[in-house]
Structure 1
């Protein structure tokens, strides 16, 4: 009797060992695989204030595990809204043209020389247990006629990530991304150069006679207003952000130089009012020599600390 029980127990263990791999294999075989690709046709308006951009592209899906004639691919655009116009629908192949507005958080720390990343993020409606994407790296890309005014397209990439939600469910997510940067020379000429010229003009006051109050103060005040206007104009192109951009740091250095300039004028005016012109000339020379020191100290504080 004991031998019989042992025999049946052994059979039960063996059946479990055999059944587990079969169950796993069955689960894997039931898992759908979509090979997905994207071909960009056009980039429309890029709204930096809202982190939004218009895209026009083709998308296709290949799968031996689906019948697209009976059921369209169950996918969602996770970072935007789009209209989908089917072009080719076959049993194992689905192609459509997509036009929509997408959104992405952008990093402006290096403004006006920043790089931005535009993405299209697509996710299936089924979790990783039954569905996954595979990127079509060979055919995905960008049309040669794509032109993005003010931006230089650096690279494109197609990738698949796993997105995990708060309930621990995992979904396959396809991400098509475009990395772009501003044209450096154009950005410098339009943004940095005016501020450099304005600040240089303001510093010319140090080479004017300390007794020429009206001209010096007029020069300092007018150039300061011009610098503030340039700063505000640049800031209005960006969304409200909680960090300093490269341009903000340059402007802080410029404001420090303006402060040094105006403070020097006030001290010299008081000295001249008390008939101490020689001391006023010395103060002017010392404050002028402080210009590079101020630039270096603030640069170190902003960029290296």
Structure 2
């Protein structure tokens, strides 16, 4: 809806511009993504793509590159090769191949069931919105009969451990409230048009779940054994719970090393903390049953042991499933 409003406003501004003799150049931008991979810790996406620009030939053709020399504002290019430049009718066409490291703002609260929004943002470094506007090359995508949610995505797209959900072009602008140190600029307030291409992805979560759940189940199982140890063997039970707790903490550090430091709990964190609480409760229950038995209350001690054998696994697997399912559907 915002794109529609922007296009309407853009069309109106171009009509007004024609009336007053100031028509901005319409730079059609198209991309075709070949591969995508994601660096979780650095919040970066490595994207390989083909691109093209097309615009109506201006009156001044002395420096055509100044019109299509766009800046990538959210990343660093590993390479950028212009492959073809030619005149098609009254338009100038440029195509190329680039690969870059593009930054994005990640949300790992539901990790490994998280959904991310990768982006590539094009912006003209010198021409303001009154001189040039960036728009997606709709004519090309419509000609290829591509679904609007898949514009710019190869059917053979290589996505390392990711599921591509959809893509989206967003036309916008950015205001710079500065003169950039140039004394010739009278008004320190310039507006530049940009075009942002979003790739919405979700993670292939099954390998991640197996990698952390299977070892964690083994660690928690060590603590679970205390419910089968005689109450008088308190030292053995304490050793099992302490060992499993330390192993769980060390394993969590290993798992979390794939992510940046964040100020919130991820789905994985919640499952680990659930495990710690259950391990400590198992230890507390063992101490309690020990004191009950030495004080002659063996009946209650046995009841707590049997109850723990059922409550402990139900709480662990039930809580883990709850966190995973709620994160998956969020």
Q: TM-score range by the shorter chain?
A: 0.7 to 0.9
Q: Is 2:82 aligned against 1:86?
A: yes
1:26 Cα deviation from its structure 2 partner: 4.5
Q: Under a length normalisation based on structure 1, what TM-score does the superposition of the two structures give? A: 0.78
Which of 233, 236, 239 matches 1:218? 239
Aligned to 2:184: none
Q: Is 2:171 aligned against 1:163?
A: no
Aligned to 2:272: 251
Q: Distance in 2 between the 1:153 and 1:266 partners? A: 51
Q: Distance in 2 between the 1:79 and 1:23 partners? A: 32
State the structure with more CA Rg: 1
Which of 219, 226, 242 matches 1:205? 226
Q: What do you get for the CA RMSD once the two structures are aligned?
A: 3.2
Q: Say if 2:17 and 2:23, in contact at 8 Å, map to a contact too.
A: no
Aligned to 1:229: 250
Aligned to 1:131: 132
Q: Say if 1:58 and 1:95, in contact at 8 Å, map to a contact too.
A: yes
1:61 Cα deviation from its structure 2 partner: 0.7
Q: Distance in 1 between the 2:61 and 2:101 partners? A: 26
Aligned to 1:143: 154
- Deviation per residue, 1:246-295 (Å, 9 max, x gap): 11112221111111011122233344555654454355456667656797
Moved more, 158-167 or 85-94: 158-167
Aligned to 1:96: 96
- Deviation per residue, 1:39-78 (Å, 9 max, x gap): 112335x321111232221111111144778321131100
Change (3 A) 1:94 1:259: same
Q: Is 2:49 aligned against 1:53?
A: no
Q: Say if 1:260 and 1:287, in contact at 8 Å, map to a contact too.
A: no
Q: Distance in 2 between the 1:275 and 1:179 partners? A: 63
Provide the aligned length of Structure 1 versus Structure 2.
279
Q: Say if 1:33 and 1:65, in contact at 8 Å, map to a contact too.
A: no
Q: Is 2:123 aligned against 1:112?
A: no
Change (3 A) 1:173 1:180: same
Change (3 A) 1:64 1:206: same
Q: Distance in 1 between the 2:265 and 2:191 partners? A: 36
Unmatched segments (≥5 aa) in structure 2: 1-14, 145-150, 179-188
Q: Say if 2:17 and 2:24, in contact at 8 Å, map to a contact too.
A: no
Change (3 A) 1:271 1:94: same
Q: Distance in 2 between the 1:68 and 1:59 partners? A: 22
Q: Distance in 2 between the 1:60 and 1:28 partners? A: 28
Aligned with 1:90: secondary structure?
strand
